[in-house]
Structure 1
Amino acid sequence: MKIMRTLLIAIIFGSLTTSCFEDRDDNVILSSSIHDFVWKGMNAVYLYKAEIPDLANDRFTSNEEYGNYLNSFSSPEELFESLIYQRQTVDRFSIIVDDYIALQQALSGVSKSNGLEFNFYYEPGSTTDVFGIIRLVLNNSEASNLGLQRGQIIHAVDGVELTESNLSSLFGQDTYTLHFADYNDNGTTETDDDSIVSNGSTSSLTKVEYTENPVHTTEIINVGGENVGYLLYNGFTADFNNQLNNAFADFQASNVQHLVLDLRYNGGGSVDTARLLGSMITGQFNGSVFSKLNYNDDLQELNSTFNFTNSFNGNSINSLNLDKVYVLTTNRSASASEMIINSLGEYIDVVHIGDNTTGKSQASVTIYDSPDLGPNDVNPNHTYAMQPLVAISVNANDGVVPSSGLVPDVGFEINESVLNFGILGDENEPLLAAALADIESSLGRYSIDQSIRNTPQLTPVKKDINLKPFEDEMYIDNEFISITKKEFNQ
């Protein structure tokens, strides 16, 4: 990787924090070194620093004033939240954790899991009673070994009926027993008279340390004599870049002429992996701008350009050279998933099918309590770390993903339905079927069968439970944040 110029962020960090106070001789005992780490880290890198008066470089005139300020907060979490810009609407994603080892593992695809991901809905006619549906079974997990399948409905855990208030406690356990049910539509298309009926089946699962290969499903589907590649990709995890590239090698070998990229549950991940995926889909834009990251006013030296490439880590990219790609999404598609749509759309036709995406165009980085904010020489007295938003992603023409999310193309708005989840990778699954129909049609975009679009919808529970930790992340690899990045080009 070519790095045009380097500058340790420690220099920036030091210049910002040491210039904050006129009097460096005050002898102040701070409530906690963690509080000091939180403020100085956010002051150094936070994307929305200019919007938070308490993060201003001239906020404090002495150590005493600074110490009194830190002492006014009862916990690092309270201080951190006070420094977040518009938590409900703008920065919904910055986090602080008390165990950076778990954070590192999660960002590498390692977490404690039984292999299940769920959607939760209110039972028909209720605003409190809830049922769950298995939306994804991770490969080579306990759930897959037990034969559990996408679309199975859960009405209780450990014999306790699900409600909105008990979801966290029930599914937060390491070991639990699922009680399954059937959905009774009562023979009508209306949902008011529908019900969830126990079928007596159960399954007990235990969460274990699990490393997910995000290349979940690949298929080759013949449509009208041409091969369509299907890829369900469930996380932009840099540790699995080779596996992603191998999937595209298989697509190349099968002479794939069309691609359906399924990002419906992909909450994001590595920015660099996103540009590699973009390069695998295309190939004809080597060296051109895929995406850009812009930092706060104090860190303009870190502004970065991520270019399309034909290699990584000494490996050649297996590119399909496509000028059109189909991308499937739900409201769980976020960050790097949205970057793919936003960035590729400046170069090729991106047919967006499914539901509105999350609306997260900002990238984060892991900040440690160390001299240069990186993972070396970390303060041994605690294990806190932060994952604040530090940059905003734009495409080659400076277009940004709106906070309301990316909207599917007209005529391709399809929500997953409890009544027809379908089998992922099967040509009859509704979202994939829409893409295949459009590929098959020689008369332009296919008009989706209204029976797919008008499937009765139930109200989802807004509180997501049992998702992968730190799922809605688009992160910058730590080796990048420690240097000034002007251009990444291989």
Structure 2
Amino acid sequence: MRADKFLGLVLASTMLASCGGGSGGTTTPPRSGGDGGGGVVTPPPTSGTSCSLSARKEWVLETLKEYYLYPDLVDDTVNPDNYTTLQSYIEALLAPAYAQKLDKAGFTYVRSIEEEEAQIANATYQDFGWRPSFEAGNALIVLETFENGPAYKQAGIDRGALIKRVGRTAATLTDPVTAYNNGTLIDLLFPAEDGAQTVVEFQPADYSNPGSYLPAQTVTLTASEYSLDPVSKRYGVEVIGNVGYVNLRTFATSNAKTQLSSAFAEFNSAGVDQIVVDLRYNGGGLVDVAEHFGDLLSEGLNGELFSETIYSDGVLRNYNVTEADKKEYFQTTTQQLQPNRLAFITTDRSASASELLANAFPPYFGDNTALVGSNTYGKAVGQIAIDREACDDRLRVIAFKTVNADGVGDYFDGLADTYPVTCRAPDDYTLPMGDAREDSIAEALDYMAGGKAVCTPMSASSGQTTLAKREKIILMPKNPTFAEQALYGPLR
């Protein structure tokens, strides 16, 4: 399964790059399988090459009418003059599809070609390298920090830390709820510029006494560019008895394949026969990474269907997609394993490639695969990328959906109601990732030992939270890039 497909804000996304010049035509079709590169020469829009907002809106409308998965639900009666941004115009055009729950707001969007490709190629980010989240009681908790990011590297801030106050300077420190309500918190937690500083007063979690905190510290963090390891060197790979645990942060960089192969080499050496895959905050990434991950988990399934893609009429019409192009199959790969039981740890931030991967296994594993934690986000449709190079615009438009070997694919409410076994468990941020005592991992280990009978099932609504309730808000940068959405989770 070596597709040139690319999964980001949605379940799967095909990388269809414009190949210059303004002439129409195609190179290779958007394939679901096989090696090779290639992309699509996008037909020139009738609006020309102008980068005025009105011309870009016209290009967006033309592209949606041609390639959107539900073209009859594009409301072309919307007055473009009523919208000051491309994204607000897109949301208005696609409102009928949202109303019918065939799509979700934010799945189709425009981003910079240059910025997106740079992040994908380099896996670099420019912030403090953490996942802060409002948990129950309005406590601002750090759910994870990344080894190379400033929060961990400069200050030793780690999972479970309680952020008590933040400010641009020590003199302006304020509590996070106040900063959230006055609109300054996101800029403080996710600075947009290299070198920007934020002062943070925090209490580290006391892992020896879960639920307790160590004395408060005040530190100054300086934003800087850092590289991200998709599989953490600290806790990304663990062997717990006969169970192999692997935590993948993002599918959005190709070096995840190398790191996953290394993890499975360790599992093979240890003789594990059960696997726990932790995707609890993973918002998506590259399809070929998901496919490689699937291959590593699927010894004995070689040649069986991994997923089937159902394309829009526009893609079928313009790119000569064959029946073979639509199907992905499990393939033999080095370090492949044949687990007798498989569990996926998820939350409502697990989306896109995370759901694609987990959805592939129920037809073959039945009750020997489980969803553990809480329900997934529900990205059941996929996007292609159409470029307008003159304006550095990449429009990612919903153009297909995928189904597994049983035809299951419309999981807009998450995977919980489609999965053979679900095991409800909290995200226990009082303990490190990879720790067998952590609630979700402990539940997965119980399932490995006892099977379906030990699980308390989740429902499609059990993992969903709302901003209004403010029970849990995972924060993320403003106007996130593709790679940031894949790392921090989908937009609300």
CA RMSD of aligned residues (A): 3.7
**What secondary structure, in the 3-state scheme, does the structure 1 residue paired with 2:431 have?**
coil
Confirm or deny: 8 A CA contact 1:411 1:447 kept in the other structure. yes
Q: Deviations over 1:38-81 (max 9, x none)?
A: 22332332223221142xxxx9xxxxxxxx96666544334323
**What secondary structure, in the 3-state scheme, does the structure 2 residue paired with 1:215 have?**
coil
Map 1:406-445 → 2, pairs under 5 A = 406-407=415-416, 412-417=423-428, 421-441=430-450, 445=453
Confirm or deny: 8 A CA contact 1:179 1:200 kept in the other structure. yes
Select 2:157's aligned residue among 148, 152, 168: 148
Give 1:328 deviation, angstroms. Answer: 0.7
Give 1:112 deviation, angstroms. Answer: 1.4
Asked if 1:255 corresponds to 2:274, the answer is no
1:385–1:202 CA distance, 2 compared to 1 (3 A)? same
Based on CA coordinates, which of the two structures has the bigger radius of gyration?
A: 1
When structure 1 is superposed on structure 2, of 465-474 and 161-170 the one drifting more is 465-474
CA–CA separation in structure 2 for the residues paired with 1:328 and 1:404: 17
CA–CA separation in structure 1 for the residues paired with 2:230 and 2:384: 20
Match of 1:33 in 2: 55
1:272–1:115 CA distance, 2 compared to 1 (3 A)? same
CA–CA separation in structure 1 for the residues paired with 2:90 and 2:83: 9
Match of 1:76 in 2: 86
Give 1:117 deviation, angstroms. Answer: 0.8
Asked if 1:103 corresponds to 2:119, the answer is no
Match of 2:305 in 1: 289
**What secondary structure, in the 3-state scheme, does the structure 1 residue paired with 2:226 have?**
strand
Confirm or deny: 8 A CA contact 1:12 1:44 kept in the other structure. no
1:35–1:251 CA distance, 2 compared to 1 (3 A)? same
Select 2:243's aligned residue among 207, 222, 228: 228
Confirm or deny: 8 A CA contact 2:250 2:486 kept in the other structure. no
Q: Deviations over 1:379-410 (max 9, x none)?
A: 1xx32322222221211222115211122776
1:35–1:148 CA distance, 2 compared to 1 (3 A)? same
In structure 1, the gaps of 5 or more residues are 60-67, 124-129, 185-193, 311-315, 370-377, 449-456, 475-490
Match of 1:121 in 2: 135
Give the counterpart letter for 1:359 in structure 2.
G
1:409–1:176 CA distance, 2 compared to 1 (3 A)? farther
Asked if 1:272 corresponds to 2:288, the answer is yes
CA–CA separation in structure 1 for the residues paired with 2:276 and 2:230: 16
When structure 1 is superposed on structure 2, of 198-207 and 157-166 the one drifting more is 198-207
Q: Deviations over 1:260-316 (max 9, x none)?
A: 111111111112221211110112122221012212123234462121112xxxxx4
1:95–1:171 CA distance, 2 compared to 1 (3 A)? farther
Give the counterpart letter for 2:106 in structure 1.
F
Match of 1:483 in 2: none
Asked if 1:160 corresponds to 2:174, the answer is yes
**What secondary structure, in the 3-state scheme, does the structure 1 residue paired with 2:424 have?**
coil
CA–CA separation in structure 2 for the residues paired with 1:92 and 1:233: 26
Give the counterpart letter for 2:144 in structure 1.
L
**What secondary structure, in the 3-state scheme, does the structure 2 residue paired with 1:140 have?**
coil
Give the counterpart letter for 2:346 in structure 1.
T
Q: Deviations over 1:60-117 (max 9, x none)?
A: xxxxxxxx96666544334323222445852233243453322223444332132111
Select 1:48's aligned residue among 70, 95, 116: 70
Confirm or deny: 8 A CA contact 2:130 2:145 kept in the other structure. yes
Select 1:398's aligned residue among 407, 413, 432: 407
**What secondary structure, in the 3-state scheme, does the structure 2 residue paired with 1:366 have?**
strand
Match of 1:306 in 2: 328
CA–CA separation in structure 1 for the residues paired with 2:336 and 2:88: 47
Asked if 1:327 corresponds to 2:344, the answer is yes
Count of residues in correspondence between the two structures: 408
1:31–1:250 CA distance, 2 compared to 1 (3 A)? closer
1:197–1:100 CA distance, 2 compared to 1 (3 A)? same
1:319–1:135 CA distance, 2 compared to 1 (3 A)? same
1:444–1:392 CA distance, 2 compared to 1 (3 A)? closer
TM-score by length of 1: 0.73
Give 1:430 deviation, angstroms. Answer: 1.1
Q: Deviations over 1:227-246 (max 9, x none)?
A: 21110111113411122222
**What secondary structure, in the 3-state scheme, does the structure 2 residue paired with 1:438 have?**
helix
1:72–1:144 CA distance, 2 compared to 1 (3 A)? closer
Confirm or deny: 8 A CA contact 2:273 2:340 kept in the other structure. no
Give the counterpart letter for 2:125 in structure 1.
S
Match of 1:484 in 2: none
Asked if 1:337 corresponds to 2:359, the answer is no
TM-score by length of 2: 0.72
**What secondary structure, in the 3-state scheme, does the structure 2 residue paired with 1:439 have?**
helix
When structure 1 is superposed on structure 2, of 107-116 and 231-240 the one drifting more is 107-116
1:93–1:106 CA distance, 2 compared to 1 (3 A)? farther
1:176–1:197 CA distance, 2 compared to 1 (3 A)? same
Confirm or deny: 8 A CA contact 1:334 1:472 kept in the other structure. no
